[in-house]
Structure 1
Amino acid sequence: MWVIGKKAYENLKKTLEAENYNVVNILNSFSALETVSEERPDLILLDTAFLDTDGFEICRQLRANPKYRWVPVMMLGEKNEAEDSIKAYKSGADDYITAPLNPLELRARVGMILRRSRV
């Protein structure tokens, strides 16, 4: 599982590693797309406010490319506004969650996405 560009990476890592997930942080869009192709993650947690580009655009790029289309994407937002969640789903995200993150809800959503992707 990868967390791409999230400022609260350490908290996410701690929460998800407690469930025995391997968590890796990727800090720029170029290495994100390149690494997805090489490493084949089970899930990408993608920050909407990515460091060097719009997280929604990265999600669109993942969905537009047949090499990456299969990777589930959960977008992490800072605002709990319908406009951002709609934008996330329109860009191709499988789920959208906002800060502050509830660790139990995050683990439940990640587990649900991973179960669904293995079917």
Structure 2
Amino acid sequence: MKFQPDAATSYSIHSYGEGWIRINGERYNNSLLLSSTEGVLAWDCPSFEDLSETHFSELKRFQPELVLFGSGNRLRFPHPRWLQGLYAQRIGVETMDTSAACRTFNFLVGEGRNVVAALLLESGKP
């Protein structure tokens, strides 16, 4: 799907498809973190099955008001215990499939929100 972003002063997702995402004109093919203030960072989590508490703990350093967790090609929820460190710092977490997380990220950035998207990019998985 291709987006027509509003005039953005931050990072925005221009388009995405199965196993890839285009952010500010650059294409990525691996899972990533996208901060509205710091940009794109690699996220060493190739699949949902590889997730652990450590993957969510590293998101605290961004101090976002909200984390969008894109769980891949379909909606899957992380273990609640893995999110406790974020909740303890009053950081909200919303889980959705990665395509919905992409759309939501752009919307929230357009509102000027401090948000981080943790996006699993999977290819060929249902």
Under a length normalisation based on structure 1, what TM-score does the superposition of the two structures give? 0.41
Under a length normalisation based on structure 2, what TM-score does the superposition of the two structures give? 0.39
More helix by share: 1
Larger RCO (alpha carbons 8 Å, 6+ apart): 2
